[in-house]
Amino acid sequence: MLETLIEALTFRAGYNAALVAVGTTLLGIAAGSTGTFIFLRRRALISDAVAHATLPGVGLAFIALVALGGDGRNLPALVAGSAVSAWVGLLVVQWITRQTRLAEDAAIGAVLSVFFGLGIVLLTVIQNMSSGRQAGLEDFLLGAPAGMLLQDAIFVAVAGLVVLALVIALRRPMTLVAFDPAFATSVGISVHRTDLVMMALAMAITVVGLKLVGLILIVALLIIPPAAARFWSDKARNVVWIAGVVGGVSGFLGAGLSASAPAIPTGPIIVLVCFCLFAMSMAFAPRRGVIAALARQRQFRQRVRRRQGLLALAREEEILDPATLALLRREGLIRTDGVATDAGRAQAARARRDERRWEVARATHQDEAAVDRHDLLRPIEEVLTRDEIAEIDARLGPPEEAAT
Amino acid sequence: MSGAEFIQISLAPLVIGVLSAIACALPGNFLILRRQALIGDAISHVVLPGIVVGFLVSGAVSTWPMMIGAAGAAIVAVVLIETVRRVGRIESGAAMGVVFTSMFAFGVLLLEQSDTSGVHLDVEHALYGNLESLIWLDGTGWAALLDPAALAGLPAELPRIAFVAAAIALLTLVFWRPLKLSTFDEGYARTVGLPTSLIGFTLVVVAAIAAVAAFDAVGSIIVIAMFICPPAAARLMTDRLERQVLWSVVFAALSAVSGYVLAGYGPLWLGGEHAISAAGMIAVTAGVIMALACLFGPHRKASGQRS
């Protein structure tokens, strides 16, 4: 299995597998970077409606091709048909949200289910046509790249590159609209038109990906990479290229895995690889990741415990919380029997002094932001200037700890 | 078509279609008002991995393990979506998109990997169901409706969906006031002591049960359509929740009946020979009804929305 995987990943698993790998990698890169803008605009699921709305177009294009005397399996023609119906679906979503009081999610769900239902009706019509028995249009549901021809691969590659180029060219207005539509309007960008451009790019990805990944799962490639990339950066520019990398890696690894063993469908395995990358990002990303957040939380709790413990020592109160006792003991501030060490006494006195300084600061600087920022944990030297502290100390009188 | 033929071939699918539509439309009303319409979409996607796991665990295409698997998958999905949304601080639409596509992909992979050849379990079936095949062979005439022996031969889906639809209707009636209150004014509902988050979670679970029961008979495409289209159309007809729910039930039943009839007989009227997908047609008629409501519904605008 591993050998065949390596073979597939180095494009030696056969001509067709190599075609598929190139196609899915390019598709993943283009989908990830395009999806970023829709994700940041918080409209990720519109792409689900658009994807499902491609099906009636595929069916109608097939019927039209057969009526004109063709065999109906012309990929560019089917893709063109799917693009038309996806565009109609998108316009219907926009129309319902603008013209009625229904919310966008209801419009998305309605378009998704009704267009898909119509597509299924057309598929059964095609199955009943004499020339449609072997149409294989069901392949568009989940994708079936195994039968991909060179011209199909070139089509996917060119379309993916065109979309990517457009994303790069239009990234500024799209970023502005995604983050701050009001500001975008004020500098003369049409939010409505930019939204349509974003969705048109997503639609292009969808129709190009139909043959490879299928219309039910293509939406995953638009949503999951940006969601994963968002964990790694707060800058839109970085999220775009990280999402592209996540999408590309998913496409490449997924195609490799699919070629390396039997009965691994390409579309689903790409989505699952993508989900693994998402899960890893959610767990391990610095700052926004779960583990980083847990570590921060733990650190915060320890600071609270240390402060409460030191104040209790200073007031000579008994400490009952076992976690606080363990912490103070670990840091050598108290002995095992709970009595403060010299270091502990010194730190406790400092904590006590800072606490009293804060009391004075709060009384004298009531309206100052610096005092409001006091979260009881930061050393006072980080918040107030040396002069301010000296003034406070003058009011407090000589520090007590000097006596001991 | 004679009466006997109608009863044998069409009665059971019609009744099952109508009951499934109503079972989904009832919770759909509240989901739409709470802006959770797409939960139905998510649930119906994750049903696939659920039934596949149910099948693999039980080793047979028997209904109960698969239903339990589907319901379990729906609950796992809801919990996962909440986790991704809160822990990952990701907007709920994207969180849903991440979870349900991944679970669906997992279901397809599992299906391909397991030996289900010779077993009627495939993705297409999950999507469109098999409404047309739910015939009642013992229903040889109107008299069969009173004949216990013949009634025992009804498709097993019928009593199941009837039970679920009745249970959902009963729950909606019993919990009407808390549901209504927490849907329209969650803050107020909380101040008068209603467990609003429990109500919200229960609503999603009930929706999942409706989805699973209906899915078993009619496939996931009708499930999504019925969660959204009839309640959305009903919302444009009236400002009162009571009337909205009644409208949605009427629209759901109307879509199911007219969709089924059009799928079965429409092609014949147009000179075709074969019936077309009833599940797809029911979704389409639901869409037509909703489109009409969007164009002509008396309450289609929000107050202040320009025309």
- Measured CA to CA, the distance from residue A399 to residue B195 in angstroms comes to 53
Average per-residue pLDDT for chain A: 86
> From the list B37, B84, B282, which residue is nearest A106 (CB)?
B37
Q: Is residue B179 part of a domain?
A: yes
What is the CATH architecture of A2-278? Answer: Orthogonal Bundle (1.10)
Q: How many domains does chain B have?
A: 1
Interface test with A, best of B24, B223, B276, B299 (most A CBs within 10 A): B276
Distance of CA A34 to the CA centre of its chain: 12
CATH number at residue B263: 1.10.3470.10
Interface touch B104/A217, C-beta < 8 Å: yes
Interface touch A101/B302, C-beta < 8 Å: yes
User: A with B: how many residue pairs have Cβ under 8 Å apart?
Assistant: 213
Interface touch B283/A227, C-beta < 8 Å: no
The sign one gets for the Cα dihedral A350, A352, A355, A359 is negative
In tens, the pLDDT along B68-78 reads 888 899 889 98
Q: Is residue B302 part of a domain?
A: no
In tens, the pLDDT along B218-276 reads 888 888 899 999 999 999 999 999 999 999 999 999 999 999 999 888 887 777 777 78
Q: Is residue B281 part of a domain?
A: yes
Q: Is residue B251 part of a domain?
A: yes
User: CA of B224: which chain A residue's CA is closest?
Assistant: A113
Interface touch A138/B124, C-beta < 8 Å: yes
> From the list A42, A112, A271, which residue is nearest B101 (CB)?
A271
Q: With bands split at pLDDT 50, 70 and 90, how would you rate the model's confidence at A402?
A: very low
Q: Is residue B86 part of a domain?
A: yes
Q: Is residue B305 part of a domain?
A: no
**Tokens encoding A106:** 């209801």
DSSP state letter for B11: I
> From the list A109, A230, A278, which residue is nearest B37 (CB)?
A109
Whether the predicted pLDDT of B164 surpasses 50: yes
Contacts B236 to A, Cβ<8 Å: 100-102
Print the domain residue range for B257.
Answer: 3-296
- Bridge partners of residue B159, in order along the sequence: none
> From the list B105, B227, B307, which residue is nearest A220 (CB)?
B105
Whether the predicted pLDDT of A105 surpasses 80: yes
Burial (0-12, 13-18, 19+ Cβ within 10 Å), A235:
exposed
Whether the predicted pLDDT of B217 surpasses 70: yes
Which range is least confidently modeled, A107-111, B47-51, B74-78, B129-133? B129-133
Interface touch A100/B84, C-beta < 8 Å: no
**Tokens encoding A315:** 């007031």
Indicate left, alpha or beta for B129 from its phi (over 0: left) and psi (-120 to 50: alpha): left
Q: Is residue B53 part of a domain?
A: yes
What is the ipTM for the molecules in this complex?
A: 0.92
Interface touch B300/A101, C-beta < 8 Å: yes
pLDDT at position B119 is 55
Q: Is residue B303 part of a domain?
A: no
Contacts B277 to A, Cβ<8 Å: 120-121, 123-124
Which range is least confidently modeled, A74-88, A298-312, A367-381? A367-381
Q: With bands split at pLDDT 50, 70 and 90, how would you rate the model's confidence at A200?
A: very high
pLDDT at position B150 is 80
pLDDT at position A14 is 77
In tens, the pLDDT along A234-285 reads 998 899 999 999 999 999 999 999 888 888 888 999 999 999 999 999 999 9
> From the list B124, B287, B305, which residue is nearest A114 (CB)?
B287
Instruction: Reduce the DSSP state of residue A141 to 3 states and report it.
Output: helix
Interface touch A223/B97, C-beta < 8 Å: yes
pLDDT at position A1 is 64
Which range is least confidently modeled, A154-158, A252-256, B171-175, B292-296? A154-158
- Measured CA to CA, the distance from residue A237 to residue A235 in angstroms comes to 5
Whether the predicted pLDDT of B95 surpasses 70: yes
Q: With bands split at pLDDT 50, 70 and 90, how would you rate the model's confidence at B158?
A: confident
Radius of gyration over alpha carbons of chain A, in Å?
31
pLDDT at position A117 is 93
**Tokens encoding A325:** 């006792």
Structure-model confidence comparison of residues A34 and B55, the more confident one: A34
Within an 8 Å CB–CB cutoff, is residue A264 touching chain B? yes
Whether the predicted pLDDT of B65 surpasses 90: no
- Measured CA to CA, the distance from residue A299 to residue A305 in angstroms comes to 10
Q: With bands split at pLDDT 50, 70 and 90, how would you rate the model's confidence at A379?
A: confident
CATH 1.10.3470.10 domain position(s) in chain A: 2-278
pLDDT at position B2 is 59
pLDDT at position B229 is 96
In tens, the pLDDT along A162-176 reads 999 999 999 999 999
